[in-house]
Amino acid sequence: MIVIDGLVKKFGERTVVDKLSLTIEQGETFGLLGPNGAGKTTTIRILTMLTESTAGTITINGWKLPENDLEIKKTIGFVPQHFNLDIDLTARENLDLHGRLHHMPCLERNKRIDELLEYVELADRSSDMVQKFSGGMKRRLMIARALLHRPQILFLDEPTVGLDPQVRRRLWDLVRRLNGDGITVLLTTHYIEEAENLCKRVAILDKGKLIALNSPVELCRRLGEFVVEWNETGETDYRFFANRCEASVFAGSLSVDTIIRRSNLEDAFVELTGRKVAG
């Protein structure tokens, strides 16, 4: 569905995306992870035609970019990191404006708006001004807006940033429903558990370079499926093991309290980048 080959983006002498190559399959939920400044949002902006690349080739749904930008725009939806709804309009009016911009006929537009307001559980708030909405409601409305013209690919840039855990999990359920309906989803996130729960595969970027690409399960398996944690010098130390038995033997050899747990995607992230998620 998306093929990126040798993508480069420079701002002056600074290289933000450095020879990135990826293939994202149809119907996949794919995550882009990386510390701040890793090139995630810049990559999304290039794919959604908000920023021009410096070098490399991109094909989306069989169309080459930028030569076929209008055809590509018909097949993609984009939910940016920052809220960009018109707060002086109602939920329905925001969707109606988007449909008009996509030249959707009136009957089709109204039917689709009704469907999507139900889909994102905002039908009972369709006539309310957006300025009265909570952060989670605004995010759901932005997703509905991005889906209005029936895109095949949905780009989500930090879709749950700033939302409380309960609202984030409701949005996770919505993303799963979207993917279950056949939409290819590409998301960036600083919440590692979000990628671990939603994504079939993740790419980890650091300083613009691709440093890892695999499923969350496989990235954890390569480290070791179990972790022993202990604190002896005021800082948490840890070591990875292939199985719980090896982890238990090692833990028993230490003279301090230990924790044995399964490894997770955040462990892989820290090991690969040397930094915490938002470092």
| E strand segments, 25-62 | 29-33, 55-60
Domains and CATH numbers, the chain: 2-215 (3.40.50.300), 219-273 (no CATH)
Over 60: is that where the pLDDT of 279 sits? no
Instruction: Give, in degrees to the nearest 5, the angle at Cα 176 between 99 and 192.
Output: 110
d(CA 112, CA 148): 7
Q: Is the separation of the CB atoms in 153 and 76 below 8 Å? A: yes
Q: What is the pLDDT of residues 226-250, one digit of tens each?
A: 999 998 887 888 899 999 999 999 9
Helix (H) or strand (E) holding 117: helix 106-119
Which structure tokens are listed for 29? 């939920």
Tell me which DSSP letter residue 247 carries: H
Q: Is the separation of the CB atoms in 129 and 87 below 8 Å? A: yes
Residue 107, class by beta-carbon neighbours within 10 Å (0-12 exposed, 13-18 middle, 19+ buried)?
Answer: exposed
Q: What is the pLDDT of residues 179-231, one digit of tens each?
A: 999 999 999 988 899 999 999 999 999 999 999 999 999 999 898 999 999 98
Q: Is the separation of the CB atoms in 185 and 175 below 8 Å? A: yes
Which structure tokens are listed for 279? 């470092």
Q: What is the pLDDT of residues 142-158, one digit of tens each?
A: 999 999 999 999 999 99
Q: Is the separation of the CB atoms in 207 and 254 below 8 Å? A: no
Phi-psi region of 6 (alpha: psi -120 to 50; beta: other; left: phi over 0): left
Residue 81, class by beta-carbon neighbours within 10 Å (0-12 exposed, 13-18 middle, 19+ buried)?
Answer: middle
**Cβ contacts of residue 77 below 8 Å, gap of 6+?**
146, 147, 148, 149, 151, 153, 154, 155
The helix-helix angle for 135-147 and 91-101 (nearest 10°) equals: 30
Task: Determine the residue type at 35.
Answer: P
pLDDT of residue 278: 41
pLDDT of residue 275: 54
pTM: 0.87
Average pLDDT in the 111-130 region? 95
Judge if the upstream peptide bond of residue 105 is cis by omega within 30 degrees of 0.
no
- Mean pLDDT of all residues in the chain? 92
For 70-108, the DSSP string reads HHHHTTEEEE-SS----TTSBHHHHHHHHHHHTT--HHH
Tokens 């955040």 locate to 266
Average pLDDT in the 5-29 region? 95
Nearest to 143, CA basis, from 164, 163, 169, 117? 117
